[in-house]
Amino acid sequence: MIRFNILGDFEILTAAYVIRPRGSLEQALLTTLLVNYRKVVPTGSLIEELWGGRHPARVENALQAHVSRWRRRLAAMEPEAARPRLVTHPAGYQLMVDDDELDAAVLVDRLDRIRGQHGADPRQTAVELRGLLGLWRGPALGGLAWGPITRAAAHRLEELRIGAWELLFDAELRNGSHQQIISEIQEVLVRHSFNERFWQQFIVALYRSGRQVDALNVYRQLRRRLTEELGLEPSPAMRYYERAILEQDPRLNADPPAVLT
């Protein structure tokens, strides 16, 4: 079995070795096919993704040559495979990958399953989410995006990562681990400093830890940053958190953690 990883630097794992393609065109080609795995990617879309508006003469022949090289490489990794991985269609190309062979597909499948579990044990949910977040080895697609397809995919994957963190912190709050996640939320806020849900979870974690003054200061810190950096005021939802701290609203201790409105 081959495993493809795009939640970090792009790599292909086999039973015997790891391949990390470095050529920009060949990496861009396989990455574009991977983020659309099992879908036919039109030839024109691939050309735009790889070369933009500066493609060479006879660009379709150049694309076919890159596809042929990947088809041979993939076949060499699986000499006993019953079917080719990279399939040519009249309209474009298709990479055949099973869900358990692509880390991003595993992420999507398991995250959907967790979101559909109601009343699940928060300890088990937190363990599962930490396992999913452990699939990430760095920025999606290694921080590289060549054109509109991979840019959109990288953004979509990062949104899934943010969603997994939000679910994790909610699970840990339900689990009574508010003190343990304070520093973890702070680390995530360094990268996503204007994500409102993380600020709300940060405030709740501090409040439940008996740090009401710190929770109030966190709200005021966010308000100052929004005003100074974006010229905005906190949303009505965030203002409810300030009021809830001052009034010691019991919803700050509710399970599941309330989104105050």
The closest of 6, 4, 13 to 145, measured between CA atoms, is 6
What's the pTM value of the predicted model, to 2 decimals? 0.90
The arrangement of strands across the sheet holding 92-95 comes to 40-42, 92-95, 86-88
Region of residue 207 (left: phi > 0; alpha: psi -120 to 50; beta: else): alpha
* Domain C-terminal end among 99, 114, 135: 99
Is residue 129 in a domain?
Answer: no
Pairing of strands 92-95, 40-42: antiparallel
Q: What is the pLDDT of residue 258?
A: 58
Is residue 170 in a domain?
Answer: no
Is residue 242 in a domain?
Answer: yes
Q: What is the pLDDT of residue 91?
A: 94
Q: What is the pLDDT of residue 261?
A: 60
Q: What does the pLDDT profile of the chain (261 residues) look like in tens digits?
A: 899 999 999 999 998 889 888 778 889 999 999 999 999 999 999 999 999 888 888 999 999 999 999 999 999 998 888 888 999 999 999 999 999 999 999 999 999 999 998 778 999 999 999 999 999 999 999 988 889 999 999 999 999 999 999 999 999 999 999 999 999 999 999 999 999 999 999 999 999 999 999 999 999 999 999 999 999 999 998 999 999 999 998 888 877 655 666
Find the CATH number of the domain harbouring 62: 1.10.10.10
Find the CATH number of the domain harbouring 218: 1.25.40.10
Is residue 42 in a domain?
Answer: yes
Region of residue 83 (left: phi > 0; alpha: psi -120 to 50; beta: else): beta
Residue 121 CB contacts under 8 Å (≥ 6 apart), including other chains = none
* Domain C-terminal end among 99, 133, 151: 99
Q: What is the pLDDT of residue 257?
A: 58
What is the extent of the structural domain holding 258?
185-261
Q: What is the pLDDT of residue 55?
A: 83
- Tally of domains within the chain: 2
The tokens for 10 are: 């792009």
Is residue 120 in a domain?
Answer: no
Q: What is the pLDDT of residue 259?
A: 64
